[in-house]
Amino acid sequence: MTSAPALRHYLQFSDFSAEEYAYVFERAALIKKKFKAYEKHQPLTDRTMAMIFEKASTRTRVSFEAGMYQLGGSVVHLTTGDSQLGRAEPIEDSAKVISRMVDLVMIRTFEQTKIETFAAHSRVPVINGLTNEFHPCQILADIFTYIEHRGSIKGKTVAWVGDGNNMANTWLQASEILGFKVHVSTPSGYEVDQSIAGIRSADSYQVFKDPMEACRGADLVTTDVWTSMGYEAENEARRTAFADWCVDEEMMRAAQPDALFMHCLPAHRGEEVQAEVIDGPQSVVWDEAENRMHAQKALMEFLLLGRQAG
Ligand code: CP
Ligand code: NVA
């Protein structure tokens, strides 16, 4: 038996290097292949993961929970409403207690500082299952999906149409690490903020006022809801501000002929994306959703066991 790797967390995309991503993507492909062949892959037998949700989820919950069972482990599911987290037990205390009982923790919460505080007091790896600022597991799956369909993303152009939110920030981090370009178009007042995105320079992205221009020549067009979880009070103002940021067939025509369309889901047809696009031939949203599970299985294995052969 190999010894446990040094404690690592996955709190933002920049926590791994390009070389580590190359390993994780390769591993995800192998793990997916085994799953499709009904071949058991259970390196995490007897390991337990705590999953803490302070916001709603369908994909993140199912992909992590099913993924952990398939790896031979089990999960404990906690929400703010049914744990002491909702009754103001300090995050530090929660982290110390929970991490003495489980091998891995996945958290979906509000501020990035909350997950960072938890990680600082945790004895076990902590995974970001979405914060206001980042959604690294989603971009992990999205890039894995891009590679499956088109090969390496290095040197390609991703068009981001919509809110300068957690998904946009994570795409920016990924572009800096993996060497691709992001064309960003957001309504004014909803721009990406380089310091929040946590990127070193503006070299890997370009801002466009007109979403059509952002899509021109892109290899991948992607968007997300106009109103993210936690921002519901801004719903009406956002509906007005984002009216022209709906990915439509014309935008897809401006992109490369073989451009893919992605959306992390849940989607609102007729708002951020036209039904003809998300349900059209260039859309890979269902692969993207499925790949959450395969990519995260590789991530969990990597954090708990390090690099594996076979
Ligand atoms: N894309 C994503 O994270 O979906 P859920 O909110 O359903 O987990
Ligand atoms: N930006 C969205 C993503 C949902 C998966 C949100 O934070 O609600």
- Annotation marks residue 292 as catalytic: yes
H or E stretch covering 168: helix 166-178
Q: How far away, in angstroms, is 81 Cα from ligand 1 center?
A: 19
Say yes or no: CB of residue 168 within 6 Å of ligand 2. Answer: no
Say yes or no: CB of residue 138 within 6 Å of ligand 1. Answer: yes
Starting from the edge strand earliest in sequence, which strands make up the sheet with 74-79, in order?
74-79, 48-53, 104-108, 126-128
Domain 138-288 in CATH 1.10.10.10? The answer is no
Rounded-to-integer distance, Cα 113 and Cα 99, Å: 18
CATH of 13-135+290-305, one of 3.90.340.10, 3.40.228.10, 3.40.50.1370, 3.10.20.30: 3.40.50.1370
- Annotation marks residue 138 as catalytic: yes
Q: Which of 27, 59, 108, 238 is catalytic?
A: 108
- Annotation marks residue 210 as catalytic: no
Rounded-to-integer distance, Cα 55 and Cα 75, Å: 18
pLDDT (tens place) for every residue of the chain, 310 residues total: 457 899 999 999 999 999 999 999 999 999 999 999 999 999 999 999 999 999 999 999 999 999 999 999 999 999 988 999 889 999 999 999 999 999 999 999 999 999 999 999 999 999 999 999 999 999 999 999 999 999 999 999 999 999 999 999 999 999 999 999 999 999 999 999 999 999 999 999 999 999 999 999 999 999 999 999 999 999 999 999 999 999 999 999 999 999 999 999 999 999 999 999 999 999 999 999 999 999 999 999 999 999 999 7
| Atom number, ligand 2, closest to the C-alpha of residue 60 | 5
Structure tokens at 191: 């721009």
Rounded-to-integer distance, Cα 275 and Cα 24, Å: 33
Say yes or no: CB of residue 157 within 6 Å of ligand 2. Answer: no
Q: How far away, in angstroms, is 47 Cα from ligand 1 center?
A: 24
∠ CA(201), CA(203), CA(206), 5° rounding? 115
| Atom number, ligand 1, closest to the C-alpha of residue 56 | 6
The answer, as to whether pTM is greater than 0.85, is yes
Say yes or no: CB of residue 143 within 6 Å of ligand 2. Answer: no
Enumerate the domain spans of the chain. Answer: 13-135+290-305, 138-288
- Annotation marks residue 135 as catalytic: yes
Residue nearest to atom 6 of ligand 2 (CA): 228
Beta strands in 35-145 (DSSP E): 48-53, 74-79, 104-108, 126-128
Total length of the chain = 310
H or E stretch covering 112: helix 112-120
Smallest CA-to-CA distance from 187 within 233, 132, 238, 247 is with 238
Q: Please measure the distance between the N-terminal and C-terminal CA atoms of the chain and give it in whole angstroms.
A: 14
